[in-house]
Amino acid sequence: MYRLRRRVTRGAMFGILCLVAVVMLFPFLFMGLMSFRSYDQYLTGSGFSLDSWAGLLRAIPVVQQLVNSTVVTLAAVFIILAVSTMGGYAFAKLRFPGRTVILLAIIGGMMVPLQSIIIPEFVNVAQLGLINKYPGAVLVYAALGAPFATFLMTTYFRGVPTELVEASLIDGASYAQTFARVMVPLATPALVTVAVLQFIQIWDDLLIGLLFLQVPDVRTITVGLATLQSSHIIDVPVLMAGSLVSALPAVIVYLIFQRYLIAGLTMGMGK
Amino acid sequence: MTAAAAIGRAVRGRRDTGGRAGPLKAAERRAGILFSLPVILLTGAFLFLPILQTFYYSLTTWDGITASWVGLDNYRQLFSDPVFWRVLLNNAFLLASIPFAILIPLVVAFLLHQHVPGWRFFRSVYFLPTAISWVVIGMVALRVFAAEGILNTVLRILGLGAIRTDMLTNEYTAMLAVAITFIWSVFGTNTIIFITGMATLDRDFYEAARVDGAGSWAVFRYITIPLLMRFIQFAFILTVITGFTALFSLIFVMTSGGPGYGTTTLEFFVYQKAFAQGVFGYAAAIGAVLFAIVFAISLVQRRLLRSRED
DSSP secondary structure code for residue A151 in this structure: H
- Euclidean distance between CA atoms B108 and B130, whole angstroms: 17
Measured between CA atoms, how close is A113 to chain B, in angstroms? Answer: 6
Contact A92 B13 (CB under 8 A): yes
Q: Which has the higher per-residue pLDDT, B198 or B103? A: B103
Tell me what the mean pLDDT of segment B8-36 comes to.
67
Q: Check CB contact of B184 with chain A, cutoff 8 Å.
A: yes
Least confident range of B164-173, B198-207, B258-267: B198-207
Q: Does B287 touch chain A (CB under 8 A)?
A: yes
**All domains in chain A, ordered by first residue:** 60-268 (1.10.3720.10)
- Using a CB-CB cut-off of 8 Å, the residues of chain B touching A211 are 275
Distance (Å, whole) CA B47 – CA A120: 10
DSSP strand E in chain B: where?
A: 60-62, 67-69
- Checking if the pLDDT of A60 tops 90, the result is no
Measured at the CA of A162, the angle between CA A158 and CA A166, to 5 degrees, comes to: 150
Name the residue among A76, A25, A59 with its Cα closest to residue A205: A76
Phi-psi region of B64 (alpha: psi -120 to 50; beta: other; left: phi over 0): left
Closest alpha carbon within chain B to A140 = B46
Cβ–Cβ gap B47/A144 under 8 Å? yes
How does residue B1 score in pLDDT terms, banded at 50, 70 and 90?
very low
Judged by CB atoms closer than 8 Å, whether chains meet at A111 and B64 is answered as no
Q: Are B7 and A153 a contacting pair, CB within 8 Å?
A: no
Residues A5-55: tens digit of each pLDDT? 778 888 888 899 999 999 999 989 989 888 888 888 888 878 888 888 888
Which residue, A224, A244, A230, is CA-closest to A62? Answer: A224
Quick check: B271 and A115 in contact, CB under 8 A? yes
Cα B267 from Cα B244, distance rounded (Å): 7
Q: Report yes or no: B199 at the A interface, CB cutoff 8 Å.
A: no
Query: Which residues in chain B are closer than 8 Å to A23, comparing Cβ atoms?
Result: 184
Q: Which residues on B lie below 8 Å from A113 (Cβ)?
A: 244-245, 267, 287, 290-291, 294
- Asked if the Cβ–Cβ distance from A116 to B283 is below 8 Å, we say no
Residue B191 has pLDDT above 80, yes or no: yes
* Residues of chain A contacting residue B168, judged by C-beta atoms under 8 Å apart: none
pLDDT digit string, tens, across residues B251-279: 999 988 878 899 999 999 999 999 888 88
Contact B106, B236 (CB under 8 A): no
Chain A closest CA to B162's CA: distance in Å?
A: 22
The answer to whether the beta carbons of residues B53 and B62 sit under 8 Å apart is: no
- Domains of chain B with CATH codes: 81-309 (1.10.3720.10)
pLDDT digits (tens, 9 = 90+) for A92-121: 999 999 999 999 999 989 889 999 999 999
Q: What is the mean pLDDT of chain A?
A: 89
From the candidates A111, A151, A164, A201, which should be mutated to test the interface with B, based on the most B CB atoms within 10 A?
A111
Rounded to whole angstroms, the Cα distance separating A149 from A141 reads 12
Smallest CA-to-CA distance from B291 within A113, A104, A143 is with A113
